[in-house]
């Protein structure tokens, strides 16, 4: 039995779709298997009880030992105190020129005393905050392995057409991969905040206009970055109540089962990304910029192929909406011009009057000469 070229291409396309569905489904189920309490955990020093907060980490406990050495009687604590001293002296120097008031002077002095105390005790304050968030996360999280296994078991072989199955599995797989990546980035940023925050605290409590407000925003972002796993923990607890209890809610078919299985990582990624965007706006803006750059490159290439270099230039400047408008207007203009019998551009240039309308005054039109 011989196959035509069309039948061969159709089977080849179906094999590609089936293989991609298999890859995405495997990524989703592996992500559920790897989704454990450690994924949403908050980094804390090694030890037990209050020793994790108030005792000096062992030399083998990296990077906590280095952070402790730098922020407790180390270089970062001294740099923070020096920055605070310089900021306060700068406020006093400005007061010589009658800029400010006695109230601002007293406020700066009280703020400097508070800032010095926070800089000296920064390591213990930050570690205690992380310890409390870790305890809350453990208390809120259900049996993550059991919840992940229950959601993975809801995945049927297929739902509807292969394209819908590919779309839904792709959304779920990408969401769970990005969710795990966000928590990896969060852990790295927490270490950076722990190490460099004494200098930021010196600027924040130095009461310098504008600069102190910027440092205050960074300090608030540390708190938002610390509580990042709490929304995802609450979401997992809700899904555990609905699908791992004694009476799980019934689902009305394979489409609903697929929707439930991919909704958990998708919603968790959304709420985590919103919190992460508030906690680390520069990092989230850079990630969004990379995604928009890739989309813009594809838009420019498509516009150049469909409507020429002019549309590609419009897409580079104004994005996908501008390119779509340029392509539609160009296609519509060409079609309307051909239907109405309008002369082409070459015919207008070859006309005796140079293509200039008769009602135009030549002395006011430089292109006529």
User: Could you report the per-residue pLDDT of 292-304, keeping only the tens digit for each?
Assistant: 544 444 444 444 4
Number of domains forming the structure of the chain:
2
**Distance separating alpha carbons of residues 269 and 232, to the nearest angstrom:** 8
**Distance separating alpha carbons of residues 292 and 312, to the nearest angstrom:** 16
Between the two ends of the chain, the Cα-to-Cα distance in Å is 73
Give the CA dihedral 268, 272, 273, 278, nearest 10 degrees. 160
Do 233 and 290 lie in one domain? The reply is no
The chain-wide mean pLDDT, for the chain, equals 75
pLDDT (tens digit, 9 = 90+) per residue, 227-284? 888 888 888 888 888 887 777 787 777 778 778 888 888 998 898 888 877 765 655 4
Note the pTM of the prediction, 2 decimals: 0.69
Given a cut of 50, is residue 305 above it in pLDDT? no
Do 268 and 256 lie in one domain? The reply is yes
Residue 367 DSSP class: G
SS3 of residue 248 by DSSP: coil
Selected residue with higher pLDDT from 202 and 337: 202
**Structural domain includes residue 1:** no
**Distance separating alpha carbons of residues 40 and 135, to the nearest angstrom:** 12
CA dist list (Å): 252 to 159, 255, 260, 305: 12, 8, 11, 45
Do 67 and 156 lie in one domain? The reply is yes
Do 124 and 252 lie in one domain? The reply is yes
pLDDT band at 2 (very low <50, low <70, confident <90, very high): low
**Structural domain includes residue 353:** no
Given a cut of 50, is residue 334 above it in pLDDT? no
**Structural domain includes residue 38:** yes
Q: What is the pLDDT of residue 291?
A: 47
pLDDT (tens digit, 9 = 90+) per residue, 195-228? 999 999 999 888 887 888 888 888 888 888 898 8
- Please choose, from the candidates 211, 179, 190, the residue with its C-alpha nearest in 3D space to the C-alpha of residue 280: 190
CA angle 274, 299, 330 (to 5 degrees): 130
**Structural domain includes residue 349:** no
Do 245 and 286 lie in one domain? The reply is no
**Distance separating alpha carbons of residues 215 and 203, to the nearest angstrom:** 6
Do 219 and 334 lie in one domain? The reply is no
Given a cut of 80, is residue 10 above it in pLDDT? no
pLDDT band at 123 (very low <50, low <70, confident <90, very high): very high
Do 25 and 44 lie in one domain? The reply is yes
Do 286 and 267 lie in one domain? The reply is no
CA 36 to chain centre: 22
- The two structure tokens encoding residue 37: 């309490």
Given a cut of 60, is residue 357 above it in pLDDT? no
Start-end of H helices in 40-121: 51-54, 64-71, 75-95, 102-120
CA dist list (Å): 268 to 131, 149, 198, 226, 347: 23, 17, 32, 16, 62
Do 34 and 63 lie in one domain? The reply is yes
Cβ proximity of 163 and 38 under 8 Å: no
- Please choose, from the candidates 182, 259, 195, the residue with its C-alpha nearest in 3D space to the C-alpha of residue 228: 182
Q: What is the pLDDT of residue 193?
A: 92
Selected residue with higher pLDDT from 362 and 161: 161
pLDDT band at 133 (very low <50, low <70, confident <90, very high): very high
Q: Annotate 295-326 with DSSP letters as a single string.
A: HHHHHHHHHHHHH-HHHHHHHHHHHHHHHHHH
Q: What is the pLDDT of residue 289?
A: 53
Percent of the chain at pLDDT above 70?
A: 68
**Mean pLDDT of the region 24-31:** 83
Do 328 and 270 lie in one domain? The reply is no
- The two structure tokens encoding residue 179: 């969710």
Selected residue with higher pLDDT from 96 and 45: 45
**Structural domain includes residue 108:** yes
Lowest-pLDDT range, 4-8, 15-19, 168-172, 201-205? Answer: 4-8
Do 298 and 195 lie in one domain? The reply is no
Q: Annotate 340-361 with DSSP letters as a single string.
A: HTPPPHHHHHHSTTTT--TTS-
80: burial class by Cβ within 10 Å (0-12, 13-18, 19+)? buried
Q: What is the pLDDT of residue 286?
A: 53
Burial 314-333 (b: 16+ CB within 10 A, else e): bbbeeebebbbebbeebeee
pLDDT band at 324 (very low <50, low <70, confident <90, very high): low
**Distance separating alpha carbons of residues 183 and 268, to the nearest angstrom:** 12
Given a cut of 50, is residue 335 above it in pLDDT? no
- Determine the structural domain holding residue 290 and report its residue range: 282-341
Q: What is the pLDDT of residue 288?
A: 53
Do 228 and 301 lie in one domain? The reply is no
Given a cut of 90, is residue 121 above it in pLDDT? yes
282: burial class by Cβ within 10 Å (0-12, 13-18, 19+)? exposed
């Amino acid at each position: 039995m011989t196959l035509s070229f069309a039948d061969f291409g159709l089977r080849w396309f179906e094999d590609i779709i089936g293989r991609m569905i298999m890859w995405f489904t495997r990524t989703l189920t592996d992500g559920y298997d790897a989704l454990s309490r450690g994924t949403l955990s908050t980094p804390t020093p090694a030890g037990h009880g209050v020793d994790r907060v108030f005792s000096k980490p062992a030399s083998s406990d990296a990077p906590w030992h280095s952070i402790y050495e730098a922020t407790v009687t180390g270089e970062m604590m001294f740099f923070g105190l020096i920055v605070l001293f310089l900021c306060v002296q700068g406020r006093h120097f400005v007061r010589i020129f009658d800029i400010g008031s006695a109230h601002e002077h007293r406020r700066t002095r009280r703020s400097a005393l508070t800032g010095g105390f926070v800089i000296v005790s920064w390591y213990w304050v930050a570690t205690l905050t992380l310890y409390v968030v870790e305890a809350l996360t453990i208390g809120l999280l259900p049996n993550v392995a059991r919840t992940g296994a229950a959601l993975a078991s809801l995945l049927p072989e297929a739902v509807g057409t292969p394209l819908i199955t590919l779309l839904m599995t792709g959304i779920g797989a990408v969401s769970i991969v990005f969710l795990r990546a966000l928590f990896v980035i969060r852990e790295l940023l927490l270490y950076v905040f722990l190490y460099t925050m004494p200098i930021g605290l010196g600027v924040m409590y130095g009461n310098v206009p504008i600069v102190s407000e910027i440092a205050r925003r960074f300090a608030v972002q540390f708190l938002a970055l610390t509580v990042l796993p709490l929304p995802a923990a609450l979401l997992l607890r809700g899904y555990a109540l609905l699908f791992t209890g004694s009476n799980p809610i019934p689902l009305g078919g394979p489409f609903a089962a697929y929707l439930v299985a991919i909704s958990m990582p998708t919603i968790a990624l959304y709420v985590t990304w919103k919190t992460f965007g508030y906690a680390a706006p520069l990092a989230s803006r850079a990630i969004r910029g990379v995604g928009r750059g890739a989309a813009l490159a594809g838009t420019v290439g498509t516009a150049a192929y469909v409507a020429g270099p002019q549309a590609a230039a419009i897409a580079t400047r104004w994005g996908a909406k501008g390119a779509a408008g340029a392509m539609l207007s160009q296609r519509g203009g060409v079609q309307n011009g051909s239907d109405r019998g309008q002369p082409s551009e070459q015919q207008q240039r070859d006309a005796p009057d140079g293509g200039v309308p008769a009602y135009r005054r030549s002395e006011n039109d430089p292109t006529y000469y």
